Structure 1
Amino acid sequence: MHLSYCTNVHPAEDLAGVIAQLHAAAGPIRRAAGLGVLGVGLWLPAPLAARLATEPAALEALRAALDEEGLEVRTLNAFPYAAFHAEVVKLDVYRPDWTDPARLEYTIDAARVLAALLPAGAEGSISTLPLGWREGWDAAADAAALVALGALTAELRAIRAETGRVIRLAIEPEPGCVLDDVADTVAWLGAHRDRVDLEHVGICLDTCHLAVSFADPRAEVERIAAAGIRVVKVQASAALHVERPGDPAARDAVAGYAEDRYLHQVREDAAGGVMRVDDLPEALDALPAAAPWRVHFHVPLHLAPEPPLTSTTDVLETALDAVAATQTVDELHVDVETYTWSVLPGSPPDLVEGVAGELRWAAGRLAERAEQPA
């Protein structure tokens, strides 16, 4: 398994900004984490990806900064298209969706850039949104997305033929989207395996999203494997868990995580089935709070929330074990993705030490798994 952290935590939108963040943050994070080489899951906004795909000098400047800081790139996060640190993101993170030619163009640019940055002999992955947001999605939208993904897989095959570099797309199920969870994604890919090349398309298993769904992580990974689909990438992330959301102390604590930038979908594990709302303020107003909640808020892996809240790192660990038990993991990308440091309640944390702490935590967990008998 190859460990990295996702640079969508940084607000840089152009080449100069990305290079500055590599020097100011990623390099210091590597040193603070005690790693000789650190993987970075680069987030490249669409205009920058287009520039890097067409300007060799720009790409060489990025490569030089990566080398200088002891960083390598095996995976890209091409889910947010641009402006991921705008004052308000919310539903904009799902635009453009896979019905829009701009999404295909962006992902092709990202694939070309990744092919040029990969270490020798390494395979690459690109995570992407699960088609789009569910509202307004119809059969015509589904058909358009299928055409676009077919074109994308043709391009990935062409890159492989031209360069020898294997790049795989990793579709990332997310609550509220067309492909809301693992089951949706497996069903959609399985239904369209004649149009979407499963050698080049698999799943990005975001373990925060997985936890929010209240699905059993081991069973969901086994579902993926049984369908002949690959987990291409694990986004190592944890959700907020609220065991007793009706308790006043718990309600006050979770309300502190309501903020204006990102969408924080909430699920309640009710006896009659999981209840769903699209953001935390709505949950505080509308859900009965009679059963446990999971909140789509990526919380630091190594820092437990203040009681009575907890996090779902157990889901992450169970999912990693299940993936290791069901497929070869030599080229599995494990990307720590806590992009919410800037909106955590309380005083702003030190980002370098925070991400380094997460990486130390994750590296320790991966090392424990590597030492376990087969």
Structure 2
Amino acid sequence: MTRLCYCTNVHPAEDLDGILRQLDTYAVPVREKLGADRLGLGLWLAADVAAGLAASGTARRRLRAELDARGLAVITMNAFPYGGFHADVVKLSVYEPRWTDPRRLRYTVDCVTVLGDLLPDDVAYGGISTLPLGWREPWTAEDDSAALASLASLTRTLRSSPRRIKLAVEPEPGCVLDTVADTVAWLAPRVDPEYIGLCLDTCHLAVSFADPVRTVESITAAGLEIVKVQASAALHVDDPRAARAELAEFAEPRYLHQVRELAPDGTVLKADDLPEALETLPGEGPWRVHFHVPLHASPDAPLRSTNDVLTQVLTTVPGDRTIEVETYTWQVLPDRHRQDLVDGIAAELAWADGQLTVEVP
């Protein structure tokens, strides 16, 4: 079975009333535009909201009733951003607190409680995506041990949850677990694969220049599960030296846009943000940029999206699948690439539904 949803981290609200207003403004019209009786959501809650809901069964029941009344169903959660995801400048702060910090564990436990009560009865399990431990520096052996202890504590919580909930660790360029290969190598010998697996973000995968099919096969070969796929596309340019002006349009101050260059000798060169890449990378090989671009609307030449990576992943991922469309960058796209948010989200979901042969739940 395939479950398709969109991630609500695209909406800036960080209190419960604001979240409901955002859903009324965007999610309900998206559902109506698609002609669906029920629309799947990948819910993002800031830490304070998650804590308040986790502390109150009454509040969780109210939220479930509000969602049901709107024809909305939470089938997964995104617990990567802790809060402030739509601040004027996010950049490296999105990787805080790390898995070495008790606040990260507490937040994730709260999300387990919330998702357990929001998950529809006909959904077998729910996944919660999280950051790949933290930004790569500073990171020590002691940090490694602290993060592992926190994940072990979370696993005990997951085992005792009345609903089947799994953690999905999301590799991201620049982090401790930068690539899928890094993540598999770190997780496989350390975690219980019944409860902890991967969130495979196809934008991040594309940026790494890893082979999509072999990547999926490597995860399953290691005995780990792809808990969910975040359907997303990166920017690709074959000749960055000839496309500097077009690339510069995507250099914006809110989010970090890591860049990787595939050098002629096959090595992958790295820059932590697009402005840095424009100054330091040689541009002798193609670039991929961590900038989530709309699935249905590839940018104009000489840029393009990496939707080919997404489609290869979706035809390779085995079994039960949760697919979460996660284009959170609508508000920071260059002006000429923007469109109405309801139209944009609906078009992305329709594209995914048609191209990936999946059903909107």
TM range (shorter): over 0.9
Deviations 1:250-307 (A, max 9, x none): 1110110000000000000003300001000000000001100000000000001011
Counterpart of 1:144 in structure 2 is 146
Code of the aligned partner of 2:76: T
Q: What are the within-5 Å matches in structure 2 for residues 10-159 of structure 1?
A: 10-122=11-123, 123-159=125-161
Please, which of 248, 251, 263 is the counterpart of residue 258 of structure 1? Answer: 251
Residue 33 of structure 1 deviates from its aligned partner by: 2.2
Higher mean alpha-carbon deviation, 182-191 vs 2-11, is at 182-191
Measure how far apart 1:367 and its partner are. 1.8
- 1:297-308 maps to which residues of 2 (within 5 A)? 297-308=291-302
Cα displacement (A) at 1:67: 1.0
Which residue among 238, 256, 263 is the counterpart of 1:243? 238
Q: CA deviation at 1:121?
A: 4.1
Secondary structure of 2:198's counterpart equals strand
Consecutive aligned runs of 4 or more in structure 1 exceeding 3 Å deviation:
none
- 1:234 — aligned with what? 229
User: 2:326 — aligned with what?
Assistant: 337
DSSP 3-state at the match of 1:180: coil
Q: Would you say the 8 A contact 1:169–1:202 is kept in 2? A: yes
- 8 Å Cα contact 2:81-2:94 kept in structure 1: yes
CA distance in 1, matches of 2:329, 2:53: 27
For the residues of structure 1 that align with 2:131 and 2:186, how far apart are their CA atoms? 14
Normalized against structure 1, the TM-score is what?
0.93
Name 1:270's counterpart in structure 2.
263
Q: Which moved more, 1:203-212 or 1:342-351?
A: 342-351
Matches within 5 A, 1:347-366: 348-366=338-356
Q: 2:276 aligns with which of 275, 282, 290?
A: 282
**Structure 2: which amino acid aligns with 1:113?**
V
Taking the aligned partners of 2:7 and 2:109, their CA distance within structure 1 comes to: 20
What SS is found at the alignment partner of 1:20?
helix
Partner of 1:179: 177
How many corresponding residue pairs?
A: 356
CA contact (8 A) 1:76 1:125 kept: yes
Q: CA deviation at 1:79?
A: 0.1
Give the corresponding residue for 1:372.
none
Aligned residue for 1:74, secondary structure, equals strand
Where do 5+ consecutive residues of structure 1 fail to align? 370-374
Contact 2:4 / 2:358 at 8 angstroms: preserved in 1? no
Q: What is the root-mean-square deviation in Å for CA atoms of aligned residues?
A: 1.3
Please give the alpha-carbon distance, in whole angstroms, between the structure 1 residues aligned to 2:357 and 2:188.
33
CA–CA distance in structure 1, aligned partners of residues 53 and 355 of structure 2: 35
Match in the other structure for 1:313: 307
CA deviation vs aligned residue, 1:335-366 (integer Å, no higher than 9, x gap): 00000000000154200000000000001123
Cα separation, 2, equivalents of 1:342 and 1:58: 30
By how many angstroms is 1:204 displaced?
0.2
Native 8 Å contact 2:61 2:117 kept in 1:
no
1:255 counterpart letter in structure 2? A
